[in-house]
Amino acid sequence: MGLAIPTEITLLMPSHRKQHGVHYTPPELARFLAAAVIRRAVFPAGPVRVLDPACGDGGLLLAMFSQLPPGVRKRVMLIGCETDPLALEAAQDRLAVVPASQRMLQLQDFLAAEAMEPVDAVIANPPYVRTQVLGAARAQALSQRYRLSGRVDLYQAFGMAIAAALRPGGVLGLLTSNRFLTIQSGEPLRRLLQSQFLLKEIVDLGDTRLFQAAVLPVIVLGTKRAERTHRSTDQTPPASRSPGPTCAFTRVYAARDAGPVAGPEADRPSILEAVSLPEMAGVVHTQSGPFCVERGQLLAESEGSIWTLATAASRRWLEKVRSHQDGVFGDKAQVRVGIKTTADDIFLHRWRQLPPDEQPEAELLRPLLTHDQAVRWRRANDPASNPSGESTVDGDRPATTPPQVLYPYLPDAFPRQPVDLRQFPRAEQYLLSHQERLRGRTYVQQAGREWFEIWVPQQPTAWALPKIVYPDISETPRFWLDRSGAVVNGDCYWITLRPEIDPVWLHLLLAIANSTLITQYYDTVFHNKLYAGRRRFMTQYVRQFPTPSLDAATAQEIDERVRQLLAGEATVEQEGNLEAELDRLVWQAFGLLREYDSPGTDACS
């Protein structure tokens, strides 16, 4: 369908992709998206205008043109905007099959362009670029024009500009990162899409690896609502509205334990072919491997809330959980990310490997908890069972000792206060040897901090509190209790009870967090998965983990079993039995004992 692009290697270099957010749409996915847009479009009798606001090499526009009905194809105008001259040249070559009078490809930034004549359809795969990659000036200009805030992605600005370009009743086919479905910074885009469009279908393509890069894509299909928001500096969406009468939601992820297929017809050449058949659900075997295809409807409980897939069964399950819920983790505890130094190779080290006269003073070296030590209940190589402090493998074979962090803060100062480096000459000498790089972190000093400080150091006095620690990314929950006073690294999060909360709740939260109920709750409500089924246990999710209304007897039973697990004196078999008992108690506390004892047979669960 398209011509070879001589500049393809240059355009798709990793550095170019990161800086410009370039992830060109694979041809099969482009055809899939174009077909979905055309199915939902009601084209006018006269000229038809189709826009790709970041057209790249022209793949999406070509897919639209090739699949339009012949009568529409004769009167369509393809409009493409692109900021990369090489990409635009490739698009011109690729779209040479389209009469010149029916294509208008422009070298311009769509986000900075003046308002255009409304279009009938938008098909778009806008760049995925976080504001810290864009640069401060560009990010600030976009934030002001489109009222963006926080750590946002360029695709959010594109979403607002696209909505302004479409005519009422026009069709949107948006291909973007599925992160926006559930993360906090995706809220502005969710609000905008929900308020400006009647959403028709969401297709979360998860870890299907349709892109060469590590992109987890989602398709959003909808039609522009009747009243049109004019393009201006005020992009505030109107009052909250429902997504539409019904919005279909399809989710596709690699099937790790494939099990039986959905039926004899479940063997398909590609996952996109399978997804295009509405009746296809369950485990589907393709040439790229097995995938789980889930079908349901979009659940968006309130304006700006996260978007997830819901079925009748999942709604009933959630209603049961919430009928026995008395709050969330955030009511009883603070959930925080670990430290972020922005210079790990300077601050994190196995300092004993250095000559003694080069090691910073011991008072500034703190033990560090990282994802490598993450196991359920107790951390790996717990000092309680390993007094020497040496890291071990399989319980007795010496291994590499974990790093320590050079933590230049007074341990008992509140609020946080950096040390006077003159009182620690070896640490001062070490940090001065890296002064140029550390001072290069201009954002640290712009925040009114010393040049040698850690970017996100947290509050030093809080490390001594008993805390639950867990890794940011994990296939299954791995929450453990730490009482050592160690610092938590940025690849983990930590939970401490609020001062007024009964200390027993630390054990209760630990039991709930490690339960299979929380795994199911996470997948039902959040479902932010990376490749290989790895879940993101971000602060915003863990704060919303439910807590049940517990009677004293059940709370005591849970607490006793958690204490036994933390003691580390049980055999492997005994630990397995204790975990099973705890898990059952958690399900019982949420009124789901019957569901625990008689689990469903969903092939994709």
Task: Quickly list DSSP for 108-172.
Answer: S-GGGSPP---EEEEEE-----BHHHH-HHHHHHHHHHHT--SS-BHHHHHHHHHHHHEEEEEEE
Q: Which residue has the tokens 């589907």?
A: 284
Average pLDDT over residues 123-147: 74
Could you tell me if 119 and 167 are in contact, meaning their C-beta atoms sit under 8 angstroms apart?
yes
DSSP three-state, residue 260: coil
pTM to 2 decimal places? 0.86
Buried b (16+ CB within 10 A) or exposed e, 344-358: eebbbbebeeeeeee
DSSP three-state, residue 106: strand
Instruction: Compute the distance between CA of residue 308 and CA of residue 218 in angstroms, rounded to an integer.
Output: 12
Could you tell me if 566 and 378 are in contact, meaning their C-beta atoms sit under 8 angstroms apart?
yes
Specify the range with the lowest mean pLDDT, choosing from 207-211, 231-235, 258-262, 362-366.
Answer: 231-235
Spatial CA neighbour of 297 closest among 273, 283, 314? 314
Confidence of residue 10 (pLDDT cuts 50, 70, 90): very low
Average pLDDT over residues 571-599: 93
The contacts found for 548-557 with CB under 8 angstroms, 24 or more apart, are 548/324, 548/325, 548/326, 548/512, 548/586, 548/589, 548/590, 549/324, 549/325, 549/326, 549/589, 550/326, 550/508, 550/589, 554/585, 554/588, 554/589, 555/504, 555/508, 557/585
pLDDT at residue 554, as a whole number: 94
Whether pLDDT at 46 is above 70 = yes
Sheet holding 348-349, edge to edge: 348-349, 404-406, 365-369, 487-488
Whether pLDDT at 58 is above 60 = yes
CA 583 vs. chain centroid, Å, equals 27
Instruction: Tell me how far apart the terminal alpha carbons of the chain are, to the nearest angstrom.
Output: 39
Tokens of 410: 């007074």
pLDDT at residue 578, as a whole number: 96
Could you tell me if 49 and 103 are in contact, meaning their C-beta atoms sit under 8 angstroms apart?
no
Confidence of residue 178 (pLDDT cuts 50, 70, 90): very high
DSSP three-state, residue 298: strand
Buried b (16+ CB within 10 A) or exposed e, 426-441: bbbebbeeeeeebeeb
Residue spans per domain, the chain: 8-225, 337-597
Whether pLDDT at 4 is above 50 = no
Whether pLDDT at 179 is above 70 = yes
| pLDDT mean across residues, the chain | 86
pLDDT at residue 597, as a whole number: 83
Could you tell me if 380 and 372 are in contact, meaning their C-beta atoms sit under 8 angstroms apart?
yes
pLDDT at residue 150, as a whole number: 65
Say which CATH class 8-225 falls into.
alpha beta
Instruction: Compute the distance between CA of residue 462 and CA of residue 396 in angstroms, rounded to an integer.
Output: 32
Whether pLDDT at 352 is above 50 = yes
Average pLDDT over residues 397-409: 76
Specify the range with the lowest mean pLDDT, choosing from 118-122, 215-219, 230-234, 475-479.
Answer: 230-234
pLDDT at residue 539, as a whole number: 95
Instruction: Compute the distance between CA of residue 534 and CA of residue 207 in angstroms, rounded to an integer.
Output: 10
Confidence of residue 186 (pLDDT cuts 50, 70, 90): confident
User: Quick one: DSSP state of residue 502?
Assistant: -
pLDDT at residue 268, as a whole number: 73
Whether pLDDT at 303 is above 70 = yes
Average pLDDT over residues 472-482: 96
CA 399 vs. chain centroid, Å, equals 33
pLDDT at residue 596, as a whole number: 87
Spatial CA neighbour of 468 closest among 443, 488, 454? 488
Could you tell me if 244 and 220 are in contact, meaning their C-beta atoms sit under 8 angstroms apart?
no
Could you tell me if 367 and 487 are in contact, meaning their C-beta atoms sit under 8 angstroms apart?
yes
Whether pLDDT at 180 is above 50 = yes
- Comparison of pLDDT for 577 and 135, the residue scoring more: 577
Average pLDDT over residues 477-487: 96
- Burial (CB count within 10 angstroms: exposed 0-12, middle 13-18, buried 19+), residue 398: exposed
Instruction: Compute the distance between CA of residue 308 and CA of residue 556 in angstroms, rounded to an integer.
Output: 35
Q: Give CA separation, 451 vs 341, 437, 457, in Å.
A: 12, 10, 13
